[in-house]
Amino acid sequence: MRHRNDAMRTFAIAASAAIFSLAVMPVSVRAQHVPLAELLPRLVLSDITLQSPPAPPGTPGLPEGFTHVAHFSPLEGNDLNNPVIGIVQGFNGQIATQFATFPLGTSTGGLTYVFDESVGTFRRGSTSFGPMFGERALTIGRRKLSAGLNYQHTSYNRFEGQNLENGSIKFYLRHSDCCTVVLSPDPPGFILTGQPNGTRLNTPFEGDLVEAALSLKATTDTTAVLADYGLTDRWDVGVAVPFVRVRVDANVRARVLRLVTFTNPTVHAFDPSNPDAPRLVRRTGTATGIGDVVLRTKYRFLRTEGGGLAAALDLRTPTGNKDELLGAGGVQAKFLLIASNEHGRFGEHANVGYTTAQGRVGGSFAGLVAAPLPDEINYSGGVEFVATPRLTLIGDFVGRTLRGSGRLDLVSKNFEYASFPGVPPPPISSYGGAPGPACSNERGIPGNTCATISLKEFAPRSGNLTLPEGTAGAKYNLTRNLLISGSVLFPLSNTGLRNRITTAIGVDYAF
């Protein structure tokens, strides 16, 4: 009885500490002017504006006060067909999807029981305490209850193999198609008008670019309250209630690539008094709240000693705020087939399943449409080693394939611009590019030539996104009915948004 009271006291202290830590977290959602799902698109597509002076009053064909201020900002200029829109949306969609659907630990209790008719009481159903992120076929036992807490900290540092934090990921903002130079018969000459013509060769200044080098730090902290109850010896039901804290810190170093106006740098400048100065823009935000609640059930339809076969259903409900990256923005139902076995000190488990999803992630605003929540193919497997009766060591592989979520490939792209006869070429090498192939000047101004620069940038494409992870951890039986656990989750590929090592700790008490 004393051990039970000590265990209950330990569990209550751990639960109180977790709830207190959530209570004192700064709830900055209310003060957040821009939802986190909009932070990155607004930073790249809206915040980068020039400070160029307006055209002189009376300039032929141009409205009073015409400036270049918003010509590189697709949202400010209502230029939703600008190619960079799709790139930023694809980038932001992957972040929103992977933030909200990152795997939670298993809700199944580490202590399982079976009723032994020979002695008329319950006994342990397994010498192992089970996996951390996978599932095993064993059920907790009729009228048994397991309750626990899991805490996970995840920090993201790479995207499609590129470093997120050092500015190596670059977006290129194209000048809007704002104007056209036309021939004036009387008097002879050229007139600049405020009408687009479908090309960035006419007028020539539309060939300039703005390079936006992104540095992004993103972390999530998730504390999940877990419970699992045995309705029968074969059938469990459970729930996982996550409380999530998300922090995003993003900044962009923007500079003008003057492919055309390098001899007249004040045309496009963040500071006309210092045209070569870059512009630094930053947005940060923190959100805290409940995530997507998961309802779980598992039925063991084939029993073997220490294992068997089971089927499970996880229903992920849209209780988290998708606009603050706390939830996925839709309903997800995961159907899972589970196999597990034990022999001696070793146990094995394997899972295969499919997740159907409906809804869209956060990030719909200003004419932008957020990415749909993708279906998933789920698969995992691992081993458990009973080092001592109180200690189980665990190794797992956890994989999922997001169907049709799309990919972003880093490719060389050719950007066209108008080159003036007799004018020295722009400093392409200082822009990190190389001369591209020849191009046609059919829609440009007569006398100018079409030139290209080759730069590396992400390009969206259709396809699946596979995210494999490895895990290693341990569970320790501190007292009779109390388990403590710790594990690390690490990426096994460079695809998509990738985390550093995710750390997870937990407590689990069986009643």
CA angle 126, 132, 133 (to 5 degrees): 125
What percent of the chain shows pLDDT beyond 90?
54
Q: Could you give the CA distance from residue 125 to residue 307 in angstroms, rounded to a whole number?
A: 9
465-479/449-461 β-pairing: unpaired
What percent of the chain shows pLDDT beyond 70?
86
How big, in percent rounded to 5, are the helix, strand and coil portions of the chain?
Answer: 10, 50, 40
Q: Could you give the CA distance from residue 198 to residue 139 in angstroms, rounded to a whole number?
A: 65
pLDDT at 117 over 60: no
Predicted TM-score of the model (pTM): 0.85
Question: Around 84, how many Cα atoms within 13 Å sit in the side-chain half-sphere?
Answer: 27
Q: Could you give the CA distance from residue 48 to residue 457 in angstroms, rounded to a whole number?
A: 18
pLDDT attached to residue 423: 83
> Residue 151: which domain range?
2-510
Q: Could you give the CA distance from residue 229 to residue 222 in angstroms, rounded to a whole number?
A: 23
Q: pLDDT tens-digit profile of 88-102?
A: 999 999 999 998 888
Taking Cα atoms as reference points, which of 460, 323, 316, 310 lies closest to residue 375? 316
Q: pLDDT tens-digit profile of 285-313?
A: 999 999 999 999 999 999 887 789 999 99
Residue count of the chain: 511
Q: pLDDT tens-digit profile of 385-413?
A: 999 988 999 999 999 999 999 999 999 99
Place of tokens 């540092």: 157
Q: Could you give the CA distance from residue 159 to residue 84 in angstroms, rounded to a whole number?
A: 17
Centroid of chain to Cα 319: 18
- Beta-carbon contacts of residue 62 (< 8 Å; ≥ 6 apart): 55, 179, 192, 193, 194
The average pLDDT across 321-347 equals 93
Q: Could you give the CA distance from residue 485 to residue 396 in angstroms, rounded to a whole number?
A: 14
What does the DSSP 8-state code read for residue 65?
Answer: T
What does the DSSP 8-state code read for residue 323?
Answer: G
Of 194-198, 229-233, 502-506, the least confident:
194-198
Domains in the chain, number: 1
Q: Which two tokens stand for residue 287?
A: 């959100």
Centroid of chain to Cα 375: 16
pLDDT at 473 over 60: yes
Q: Which two tokens stand for residue 39?
A: 């932070």
Q: Which two tokens stand for residue 508?
A: 């689990």
Specify the CATH number for the domain of residue 24.
Answer: 2.40.160.40
Q: Could you give the CA distance from residue 18 to residue 12 in angstroms, rounded to a whole number?
A: 10
More confident residue, 117 or 410: 410
Taking Cα atoms as reference points, which of 341, 320, 174, 358 lies closest to residue 242? 320
Place of tokens 């045209």: 275
Q: Could you give the CA distance from residue 296 to residue 316 in angstroms, rounded to a whole number?
A: 9
